[in-house]
Chains A and B, each alone.
Chain A
Amino acid sequence: AQKVTQAQTEISVVEKEDVTLDCVYETRDTTYYLFWYKQPPSGELVFLIRRNSFDEQNEISGRYSWNFQKSTSSFNFTITASQVVDSAVYFCALSEEGGGNKLTFGTGTQLKVEL
């Protein structure tokens, strides 16, 4: 069965600090997809990134970067020079090719960025 673990319940940082959100996953499929979503206080889930299991290249998008390591079953998310607008709950999620695109979410990490 698929499972996603986000061990960090809440993280507080001061603006401009770098912060890394951890995500560890479990799956028996060889083909799977990993996602990160942002949920700001407004409540809507915003898609950030999708990665398939065959692509271990790290990705950078502006201040966001993602580190995918199959050897440790981790898909960590780093925000560089954090800003107050980054304050939100961040969810890591997994879908398996054999699972019909069903997403299994972690419990989320609440990030608070303060001035």
Chain B
Amino acid sequence: EAGVAQSPRYKIIEKRQSVAFWCNPISGHATLYWYQQILGQGPKLLIQFQNNGVVDDSQLPKDRFSAERLKGVDSTLKIQPAKLEDSAVYLCASSLDLRGNEQFFGPGTRLTVL
């Protein structure tokens, strides 16, 4: 069974530029999550989708971050404009549903903002 796929693996941009990350979850997983992991910390949830609807985006900085999951499968996370403090690893995860099932994580995208 294929795992969660993410691209790109690494991205370096200047502050105020925009960037987009892509995620393809495990086939059949209805729930998709985007986490931000700053160096030395645990992952923090940014946004959670159930199929193509948003379940929780309370910690997403909506003035600069946006995410979509149009057909209930792939998802993109965008940052525009980027700030220095956005430097982090962005992790995508998926689970079967919302009922306490384990989440499976992709390899992440390491973003460096200069």
How many of chain B's residues touch chain A, expressed as a range? 20 to 34
Q: Mark interface residues in B20-52 (1 if CB within 8 Å of A CB, else 0).
A: 000000000001010100001111110010100
Q: Are A43 and B89 interface neighbours, CB within 8 A?
A: yes
- Distance in Å from the Cβ of A100 to the closest Cβ of chain B? 5
Residues of A within 8 A of B (CB): 4, 31-33, 35, 37, 42-47, 50, 52, 91, 93, 95, 97, 100-103, 105-108
Counting CB contacts under 8 A, is B99 at the interface?
A: yes
Residues of B within 8 A of A (CB): 31, 33, 35, 40-45, 48, 50, 55-56, 89, 91, 93, 95, 97-108, 110
A residues near B104, Cβ cutoff 8 Å: 47
Q: Are A44 and B101 interface neighbours, CB within 8 A?
A: no
- A45-B91, A102-B48, A105-B42 in contact; A33/B100 too (CB < 8 A)? yes
Q: Are A44 and B100 interface neighbours, CB within 8 A?
A: no
Q: Are B107 and A101 interface neighbours, CB within 8 A?
A: no
- A35-B102, A47-B103 in contact; A108/B42 too (CB < 8 A)? yes
Q: Are B56 and A100 interface neighbours, CB within 8 A?
A: yes
- A43-B89, A45-B43, A91-B42 in contact; A101/B105 too (CB < 8 A)? no
- Distance in Å from the Cβ of B23 to the closest Cβ of chain A? 13
A residues near B48, Cβ cutoff 8 Å: 100-102
Q: Are B108 and A52 interface neighbours, CB within 8 A?
A: no
User: Top 7 nearest A-B pairs by Cβ distance?
Assistant: A105-B42, A45-B105, A33-B100, A101-B98, A44-B107, A50-B102, A47-B102
